[in-house]
Amino acid sequence: MPFVTWLKRHLVVIAGLLTLSYLLLPNVIVTVFSFNRPKGRFNYEWQQFSLDAWRQPCGVADMCGSLSISLQIAVWATVGATLLGTMIAFALVRYRFRARGAVNSLIFLPMAMPEVVMAASLLTLFLNMGAQLGFWTILIAHIMFCLSFVVTAVKARVMSMDPRLEEAARDLYAGPAQTFLRVTLPIAAPGIAAGALLSFALSFDDFIITNFNAGSTVTFPMFVWGSAQRGTPVQINVIGTAMFLVAVLFVLASMLIGNRRNRQKA
């Protein structure tokens, strides 16, 4: 029974690959349906091959505008959350201070809270303050929920850092600023980059918190949500496919660069 033995030995691999295909199937559908020419308003059924949507990715009213709003918010949310989060992470790892427990829970709680709860309570605050809902309230909300993820990513990296490297820099008469810029920051950089990347992805893709606090501003996820009710243009799939490709290429490129660097060092 060679087949049964083979099956037994590779059961985990088969199950794992099945899960992987479950994860990737929607992306395949999104890609395939970006070449569809749907009959009605909704792009859920395959009709015939067409390149129309790829030729005119911005052919739908308001879609590219919402994309640009989402990109702007994601960039600023990333900058804000990365800056504030990195500062907190350094304080947590490098210093001893009062109320450490409270600070830690304040960092942890936003990650353990269902989004809809944070979304609803933030809206209550904005309504009570009479704030004008829009770009700025979205940005405030995004920085808030990205912060904790940056702190976690940077903290992990700074904690694993050998403090002797900084001591060595000081022994070699580097000033505090020089030590930080030439030694500490480069070593912490991968953690900061991971936090920033995560922030960007979280902010760009956020729907629930944004939907509560956006007022009449429409981000890309909100555009998609609205189109699920009104009719889904094929261009949505074009954007989805392009985002997937850009992400894969980006990660592949960074890995290739990393590999080459390692090889040069060796």
Partner 1 sequence: MSTLTEAPPPLASAAPAKKPPRRRGRLTPYWLLLPGILWLVVFFALPMVYQASTSVQTGSLEEGYKVTWHLATYWDALAEYWPQFLRSVLYAAAATVLCLLLGYPLAYLIAFRAGRWRNLIMILVIAPFFTSFLIRTLAWKTILADNSPVVHTLNTLHVLDLTSALGWTAGDRVLATPLAVVCGLTYNFLPFMILPLYTSLERIDGRLHEAAGDLYARPWTTFRKVTFPLSMPGVVSGTLLTFIPAAGDYVNAELLGSTDTRMIGNVIQTQFLRILDYPTAAALSFILMAAILAMVTLYIRRSGTEDLV
The interface with partner 1 within residues 64-103 (CB under 8 A) comprises 84-85, 87-88, 90-91, 93-97, 103
Q: Which is nearer to partner 1, 73 or 107 (CB)?
A: 107
* Residues between 209 and 228 that touch partner 1 (CB under 8 A): 211-212, 220-221, 224-225, 228
Residue the block writes with tokens 């261009």? 235
| Total number of residues shown for the chain | 266
Q: Which of 149, 144, 143, 122 is nearest to 133 (CA)?
A: 122
- By CB under 8 A, tell whether 239 contacts partner 1: yes
> 3-state class of 15 per DSSP?
helix
Can you tell me which of 77, 232, 233, 234 binds partner 1, judged by CB under 8 A? Answer: 232
Q: How far is the CB of 109 from partner 1 (least distance, A)?
A: 7
Q: Which residue has 């990393």 as its token pair?
A: 258
CB proximity list for 148: less than 8 A, separation 6 or greater: 85, 107, 108, 110, 111
Please count the residues of this chain forming the interface with partner 1, following the rule CB under 8 A.
91
35: contact with partner 1 by CB under 8 A:
no
Tokens of 70: 């989402």
- Shortest Å, Cβ 239 to partner 1: 8
Find, among 244, 147, 252, the residue nearest to 205 by Cα: 244
Candidate list 60, 74, 123, 188; residue touching partner 1; CB under 8 A: 123
Q: Which of 25, 51, 185, 189 binds partner 1 (CB under 8 A)?
A: 25
CB 61, min distance to partner 1, A = 18
CB of 21 to partner 1, least distance (A): 10
CA atoms within 13 Å, Cβ hemisphere of 34: 19
Q: If binding is defined by CB under 8 A, does position 180 make contact with partner 1?
A: no
139 binds partner 1, rule: CB under 8 A: no
| 29 interacts with partner 1 by CB under 8 A | yes
Q: Which is nearer to partner 1, 55 or 162 (CB)?
A: 162
Contact between 238 and 58 (Cβ < 8 Å): no
* 247 near partner 1, judged by CB under 8 A: yes
Residues of this chain, 102-121, that bind partner 1 according to CB under 8 A: 103, 106-107, 109-110, 112-118, 120-121
Bridge partner list, 36: 49
Task: Out of 51, 172, 181, 251, name the contact with partner 1 by CB under 8 A.
Answer: 251
CA 30 – CA 134 distance, rounded (Å)? 30
**Selection from 250, 253, 245, 207 nearest residue 226 by Cα:** 207
Contact yes or no for 240/53 (Cβ under 8 A): no
Residue 97: strand, helix, or coil: coil
Q: Is 173 in the site for partner 1 (CB under 8 A)?
A: no
What is residue 132's DSSP assignment?
P
253 binds partner 1 per the rule CB under 8 A: no
User: Is residue 122 involved in binding partner 1 (CB under 8 A)?
Assistant: yes
